[in-house]
Amino acid sequence: MIALIFRRVAGLIVTLLLVSAILFAVMDLLPGDPASVILGTSASPDTLAALQKEMGLDRPLVVRYVAWLGGVLQGDLGRSYTYGVPVAGLIAERLAVTVPLALMAVVLSIALAIPLGVQAARHQNGAWDVFSGLFSHVSIAVPAFWVGLLLIILFSTTLGWLPAGGFPGWDVGVADGLKALFLPAVALALPQAGVLMRVTRSAVLEVMNEDFVRTARAKGLSEQTALWRHAVPNALIPVVTMLGLQFTFLIAGAVLVENVFNLPGLGRLAFQALSQRDVVVMQDVVLFFSGLVILMNFLVDLAYLVIDPRLRAGVR
């Protein structure tokens, strides 16, 4: 078990190093280096050369990569040109919005998808199943940012129940913060819920036909107990896998939804960095997000071992 986890961690480190190297190389290959982006097209060659030297851009690629990686490992992600502050601090600040938003969305989507999926599987081809099938088809197809707009029209401009956007900050009060994040989280959760529901339904259907569920019924357990104690836990693996796979889309959705609701999160930071051509921030945010996706996939792998004891013995 320990050796297995150790191997997985080694794989994770190699992957993260590769990501950083590829990202660094791609940034280098793209036309226009950070210095010329900062100075614009009108700069004289001398000024450009001076800034390139100051930023260390005249050194060979490998040297720059090692220096940059050394900085990243010590938490030094470089300075933002537009904000004039270290990027690490900026990212940490914005995470206070993005992380609670993503967590709320995941919790909401699970709370919606698992009961719906289980019920659909129990009453296969019944009215409930047809309804949830329709729900999943629709929710997978709607863009999260459009759901956000619809929620604003309904709950803010029409009913006036919830704020249309903006974030008061956590120091104003947790309740106000959560209130500001609620509509964006629903917008993010809905498309996720459709996918999760579908996976839950088919996984539960498959498990319900297994011998151990039949045994559970035969020994006199009620249908509900057989379902929730024996079938659902065994159906969780594909659900967790999907949750991990969907993480990339959750992040992409967050970038858009944060912009719809004007939330000062990481996605909004990336968008502002783009319009200001702040390439250092851009590079760091992309590195951070991709690192997060890879870490998430790693955690999903570990979660298998927790959910399914058979795998612990099997893969050793």
Task: Give the residues lining the site for other proteins (CB under 8 A).
Answer: 14-15, 18-19, 22, 26-27, 30-32, 37, 137-138, 140-143, 145-146, 149-150, 152-153, 157, 164, 248-249, 251-252, 255-256, 259-260, 270-271, 273-274, 277-279, 282-283, 285-286, 289-290, 293-294, 297
CB-nearer residue toward other proteins: 172 or 291? 291
Rounded Cα–Cα distance for residues 72 and 151 (Å): 39
Shortest CB 309 distance to other proteins, Å: 27
CB-nearer residue toward other proteins: 221 or 248? 248
CB-nearer residue toward other proteins: 129 or 278? 278
Rounded Cα–Cα distance for residues 290 and 248 (Å): 8
| Residue 122 tokens, joined | 């129990």
Rounded Cα–Cα distance for residues 235 and 247 (Å): 20
Shortest CB 57 distance to other proteins, Å: 14
Helix-strand-coil percent breakdown of the chain, rounded to 5?
80, 0, 20
CB-nearer residue toward other proteins: 161 or 170? 161
Rounded Cα–Cα distance for residues 302 and 310 (Å): 13
CB-nearer residue toward other proteins: 31 or 60? 31
DSSP state of 261: T
Shortest CB 147 distance to other proteins, Å: 8
CB-nearer residue toward other proteins: 162 or 221? 162
Shortest CB 250 distance to other proteins, Å: 9
Contact 77, 87 (CB under 8 A): yes
Shortest CB 137 distance to other proteins, Å: 6
Rounded Cα–Cα distance for residues 297 and 316 (Å): 20
Q: Which amino acid is at 236?
A: L
DSSP state of 86: B
Residue 237: alpha-carbon gap to chain centroid = 19
Shortest CB 229 distance to other proteins, Å: 25
Shortest CB 153 distance to other proteins, Å: 5
Torsion of CA 73, 76, 77, 80, to 10 degrees: 180
At residue 39, φ and ψ (nearest 5 deg) are -80, -20
CB-nearer residue toward other proteins: 234 or 248? 248
CB-nearer residue toward other proteins: 209 or 224? 209
Shortest CB 14 distance to other proteins, Å: 8
Cα→Cα distances 42→17, 36, 217, 287, Å: 37, 9, 78, 30
Rounded Cα–Cα distance for residues 99 and 43 (Å): 40
DSSP state of 308: -
